[in-house]
Chains A and B, each alone.
Chain A
Amino acid sequence: MRLLAFFASGLALGVAPLAFAQSGNLTLPKAVEAGAAFSIATAGSGKATLYIAGLGQVVKRQVDLGQTVNFPVGTLYSAGRYVVVLQGDQEPESGEFDVVPAKGVAELSFLARPSRLPVGLHDAITGAVYVFDAYKNLMVAPTPVSFELSGPSGAAQKRTVVTRFGAAWTEFDSTARQGADKFVANAGAASTRRVISQVPGDPCGLTMTAKRDGKQVELQTAPIRDCSGNPVPDGEVVTFTASFGDDQSTADVPIKGGIAKIDMPIQDGALISVASGVVMGNQIRWEK
């Protein structure tokens, strides 16, 4: 219901250039669409200067009173409130009118974050959009914006949001597969795309095995994957720790070829553990 009211007010704005407001010798439009032609009627006789001033533009014309002053397409294109002063031989006349954004979305300002994140996070990708017309005026009438996030597998998350004061936002989960996701915002004929790089998450189900290798013990993990099955990239560090009484020795080993592997001197009876970041793996009590 509220949405309908918004659209109704938007439609009312659309016909506003047809309405006029009269103030003494001046007949002004109530609103003019950005870039559209418009006219201002004057009454009386003689010469005068007509000023139209806003924060986006200023226009000054010499006019013959009693004539309608026509302004061609493209005269006023910056949306906002404009004051009008008609200065002739007699008392000056004044008034004001609005220039409203042109119809049709021409440009989207799209802020998408982050550009890189782990897979499988809830509401971790956000997008905010501002909609503009062809003259870079913020389109303040409610406008539907559709957001779509699609992963390498082609599965997409979609949502349509109606702008409020020209802005709309959404949030999506990062997908389960690593790779480059396309994050697209569409409104009217305008479309903007961002790429979100999704990388594997933390290791999941980290396990290792131990076997004697001469005087040392060879420790090796199983292929390391995140909880969605994506291989954790080489270079991530896995920490092996051997504890015996108060003695502790550790080794930080980068993943290579999908696994981490090292030979360590380990006493009989030591407790060996493996971890990566905040993720703990299994433990092994080393016995001869």
Chain B
Amino acid sequence: MLRRLFIGCAGVALAAGLAAAQPSVRVEPATLQGPRALAEQTANSVIQDYLQSWRSLSVALDQNNPELLDADFTGDAKSKLAETIREQAALGMSTHYQDLTHDVQIVFYSPEGLSLELTDMVQYEVQLFDHGKPEPKQQVRARYVVMLTPAQVRWRVRVFQALPGD
């Protein structure tokens, strides 16, 4: 109960700390499966690093520069995003992603502490550019499931996938 309260409060703090131009962020109390307790500091770090990963992917896909993914992504998530960037570049395209709102909930912390999973009901705008020519903006609302693993100084996104049908 105490842990849920901590994480709920952390969400309020996160939202209040973000500037107006930033997406609004709501953090739901964690509904953890698994025996490992989640410290408040860990939960906050994970969410901060995850939100940062949206900024990274947005810039990387905007500039067609896969190196900008290095700090925040690893494993299959990084490979798939890098492949998308290569495809875009080959087609003369780029994409601008702007996350608008996040509703984040941590759902799994593996017993050995080497992975953590969260879901995020995220609203974002997508705008395609074909040889610099903008296509109409499209607003998307999708629930993502995200798996993160700890690196030396931060959590990195290893799986990043929209759930179907929401």
Which B residues lie within 8 Å of A98 (CB)? Answer: 162, 164-165
Q: Which residues on the A side are within 8 Å of B163 (C-beta)?
A: 140
Q: Evaluate contact between B95 and A58: CB separation under 8 angstroms.
A: yes
Residue of A nearest to B112 (CB): A113
Given contacts A128-B115, A169-B33, contact A56 B80 (CB under 8 A): yes
Could you give, for residues 154-166 of chain B, a 1 whenever the CB lies within 8 Å of some chain A CB and a 0 otherwise?
0000011111110
Residues of B with C-beta under 8 A to A128: 34, 110-112, 115
B50 / chain A contacts, CB cutoff of 8 Å: none
A167 x B110 contact (CB < 8 A): yes
Chain B residues lying within 8 Å of A94, measured Cβ to Cβ, are 136, 138
A interface bracket (residues with beta carbon within 8 Å of B): 35 or more
CB within 8 Å for A51 and B84 given contacts A58-B91, A100-B164, A138-B161: no
Say yes or no: is A111 at the interface (Cβ < 8 Å to chain B). yes
Q: Is B81 on the interface with A (CB-CB < 8 A)?
A: yes
CB neighbors of B among A53-102 (8 A): 53-60, 78-81, 83, 85, 87, 92, 94, 96, 98, 100
Residue A165, interface by CB 8 Å = yes
**Which B residue sits closest to A79, measured CB to CB?**
B161
Residues of B within 8 A of A83 (CB): 126, 128, 138, 140
- Least CB distance from A99 to B in Å reads 8
Tell me the total A-B contact number using a CB cutoff of 8 A.
132
Q: Does B119 contact A (CB under 8 A)?
A: yes
Residues of A within 8 A of B135 (CB): 51, 85, 87, 92
Contacting pair B34 A78 (CB below 8 A): no
The answer to whether B88 has its CB under 8 Å from any CB of chain A is yes
**Complex contacts, B34 vs chain A, CB 8 Å:** 128, 169
CB distance from B51 to the nearest CB of A (A): 16
State the CA gap A57–B83 with chains docked (Å).
7
Contact status of A60 and B91, CB under 8 A, knowing A55-B80, A140-B163:
yes
Q: How far is the CA of A87 from the CA of B81 in the complex (A)?
A: 25
| CB-based contact B88/A130 at 8 Å | no
Task: Kindly list chain A residues whose C-beta atoms are within 8 Å of the C-beta of B57.
Answer: 55
The answer, yes or no, to whether A230 is at the interface (CB within 8 Å) is no
Q: B91 — which chain A residues lie within 8 A by C-beta?
A: 58, 60
A126–B107 touching, CB < 8 Å: no
With A78-B83, A98-B165, A111-B114 already in contact, 6 other A-B pairs whose C-beta atoms are closer than 8 Å: A57-B83, A126-B110, A127-B111, A165-B119, A167-B108, A171-B111
A-B contact pairs, 15 of them (CB 8 A): A16-B164, A16-B165, A31-B165, A51-B135, A54-B162, A55-B162, A79-B161, A80-B162, A98-B164, A98-B165, A164-B33, A165-B119, A166-B117, A167-B115, A171-B35
